[in-house]
């Protein structure tokens, strides 16, 4: 049975009969695409509902129409389904409750617990005080209930300019908690809303809508990230003043990841600044970016489960996430041979015009994946880096006069090197040993390397994109004076190879198909693939840094 402080609280609440059945929610704002940090919240909220036989709502916090778009709503729903979760009933929206929230605000005005304030945003900030100095009461704080009701109705009816008035809670301007110093509940904002159109010209703030939406939906446990801990007294104050259903708020530490920024605002800067191709750029920590890069959803769920739930902020090494990606792909990805930087090989003693079909294993981790046939012919392509004319020490791959094994095929020996007029190697002339097909030499001689290859006659062209970390620093926000986080962007985070050659089994790939290119890493077919030429994104390399760290401790 899984346990952490959140689950312990829920178990205790159920045992005491405080709640008969738990009801959680995931409340994203549709102003950008979800990232890996949101995945932690998604997995937590939906998993809690599953474990305790409860329900989990999807509710969009659409209280700021100036920043929200329907495309983000659709993207968020796709991401949640991709992770393998399904919300309770239809998706919900804070805008579903705009009328009810307005009625609640009227109740507080009638109780003398809210007032219309004419201070500008800058004046409100100044009047608010500081962490060490109390705030000052607004000169409009003592308006009568009747005047506040009239002005608030006028705000709704569009009688006042944008920004000229706000509705504020009347709490305590000397509170040590700045959130309790008469926070704003409504502001005037004439902006088209993606669901309500131009019906409203006043919109609730997040702090006002948060707890009330939870209450309306009967949420029992409101799971929030740690930055909302100081807001909890305000949410409780609103609920207690209204006398409505009280959800229990529990805060947990949000996810921070090395070499990554986890702020929607920063991610939007990357998109608008042209540093990446869009929200789904495979270098982005967004779920749509990870999906395009080939990350399996189960790997993300396993990662979120492994890091657990804590009360203290920390930063997780990105190699742990990559470990779970490799682990999942190792079990499921089919193996194929692809040459990224081709060097032509002609086997001079192999019959011209002959083609053999050699048996290749699809996945040694999964016997049920079976085998495939790979064509072998006189002319092949190998990786250029697998040949060195004058080998350095400990270079065991192909060189003049030396033998290597071709994967699933034969031993070959390099006899001659063909160069162009500038001295560049253009072709290797080799011989093969027919007795070594698919195995070792009958005479017992050994080779120290096995390399991959493709038949030149049967190869399929491809473009391959090699991705690295988007940032050069573990903490991209670690900037010198006068610098921006964008100054830490890795200029080598994307390398495009246009002349790759693949085995023919990859001639009909579909976007999202994932493979292990033997010896090279895991790759995913991109949506940019076109008829006759596939485009692959490198999901991740074969080397597992996290596994090495766990094994060696360094």
Indicate which residues carry an active-site annotation.
Answer: 29, 254, 264
At residue 265, what are phi and psi to the nearest 5 degrees? Answer: -65, -45
Say if residue 166 is exposed, middle or buried (CB neighbours under 10 Å; 0-12, 13-18, 19+).
buried
Closest by CA to 471, choosing from 487, 485, 493, 490, is 490
CB–CB of 57/92 below 8 Å? yes
At residue 113, what are phi and psi to the nearest 5 degrees? Answer: -110, 10
CB–CB of 373/366 below 8 Å? no
In 189-264 the beta strands, taken as DSSP E runs, fall at 202-204, 221-225, 248-252, 255-257
d(CA 107, CA 115): 11
CB–CB of 503/409 below 8 Å? no
Q: Which two tokens stand for residue 422?
A: 């500038």
Q: Is 334 left (phi over 0), alpha (psi -120 to 50) or beta?
A: beta
Residue that has been written with the tokens 């194929």 in this structure: 336
Closest by CA to 180, choosing from 107, 223, 230, 145, is 230
d(CA 68, CA 6): 31
Please give, one letter per residue, the 3-state secondary structure of 25-71: EECCCCCCCCEHHHHHHHHHHHHHHHHCCCEEEEEECCCCCCCCCHH
CB–CB of 321/296 below 8 Å? no
Q: Which two tokens stand for residue 270?
A: 């990357």
Backbone Cα Rg of the chain = 31
CA atoms within 13 A on the CB side of 101: 26
Closest by CA to 35, choosing from 251, 247, 254, is 254
């Amino acid at each position: 049975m899984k346990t952490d402080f959140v689950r312990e609280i829920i178990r205790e609440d159920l045992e005491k009969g405080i709640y008969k059945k738990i009801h959680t929610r995931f409340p994203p704002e549709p102003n950008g695409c979800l990232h890996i940090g949101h995945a932690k919240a998604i997995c937590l909220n939906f998993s809690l509902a599953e474990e305790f036989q409860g329900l989990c709502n999807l509710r969009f916090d659409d209280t700021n129409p100036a920043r929200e778009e329907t495309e983000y709503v659709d993207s968020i729903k796709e991401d949640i389904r991709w992770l393998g979760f399904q919300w309770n009933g239809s998706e919900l929206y804070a805008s579903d409750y705009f009328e009810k929230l307005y009625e609640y605000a009227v109740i507080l005005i009638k109780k003398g617990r809210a007032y219309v304030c004419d201070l500008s945003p800058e004046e409100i900030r100044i009047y608010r005080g500081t962490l060490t100095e109390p705030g000052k009461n607004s000169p409009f704080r003592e308006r009568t209930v009747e005047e506040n009701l009239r002005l608030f109705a006028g705000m709704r009816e569009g009688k006042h300019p944008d920004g000229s008035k706000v509705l504020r809670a009347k709490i305590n301007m000397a509170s040590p908690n700045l959130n309790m110093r008469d926070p704003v509940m409504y502001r005037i904002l004439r902006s088209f809303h993606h669901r309500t159109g131009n019906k409203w010209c006043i919109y609730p703030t997040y702090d006002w809508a948060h707890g009330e939406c939870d209450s309306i939906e009967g949420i029992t446990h409101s799971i929030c990230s740690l930055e909302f801990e100081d807001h909890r007294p305000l949410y409780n104050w609103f609920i207690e003043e209204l006398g409505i259903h009280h959800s229990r708020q529990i805060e947990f530490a949000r996810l921070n990841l090395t070499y990554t920024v986890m702020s929607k605002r920063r991610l939007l800067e990357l998109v608008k600044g042209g540093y990446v191709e869009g929200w789904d750029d495979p270098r982005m920590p967004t779920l749509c970016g990870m999906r395009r890069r080939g990350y399996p959803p189960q790997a993300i769920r396993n990662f979120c489960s492994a890091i657990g739930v804590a009360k203290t902020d920390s930063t997780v090494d990105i190699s742990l996430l990559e470990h779970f990606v490799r682990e999942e792909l190792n079990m499921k990805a089919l193996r194929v041979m692809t040459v990224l930087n081709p060097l032509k090989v002609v086997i001079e003693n192999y019959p011209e015009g002959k083609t053999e079909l050699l048996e290749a294993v699809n996945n040694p981790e999964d016997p049920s994946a079976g085998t495939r046939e790979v064509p072998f012919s006189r002319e092949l392509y190998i990786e250029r880096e697998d040949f060195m004319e004058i080998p350095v020490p400990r270079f065991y791959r192909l060189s003049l006069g030396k033998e290597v094994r071709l994967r699933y095929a034969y031993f070959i020996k390099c006899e001659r090197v063909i160069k162009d007029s500038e001295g560049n190697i253009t072709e290797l002339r080799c011989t093969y040993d027919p007795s070594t097909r698919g195995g070792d030499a009958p005479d017992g001689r050994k080779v120290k390397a096995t390399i991959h290859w493709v038949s030149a006659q049967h190869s399929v062209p491809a473009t391959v994109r090699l991705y690295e970390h988007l940032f050069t620093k573990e903490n991209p926000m670690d900037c010198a004076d006068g610098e921006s986080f964008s100054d830490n962007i890795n200029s080598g985070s994307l390398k495009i190879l246009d002349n790759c050659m693949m085995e023919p089994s990859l001639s009909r790939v579909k976007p999202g198909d994932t493979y292990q290119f033997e010896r090279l890493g895991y790759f995913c077919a991109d949506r940019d693939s076109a008829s006759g030429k596939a485009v692959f994104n490198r999901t991740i390399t074969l080397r597992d840094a996290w596994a090495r760290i766990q094994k060696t401790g360094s």
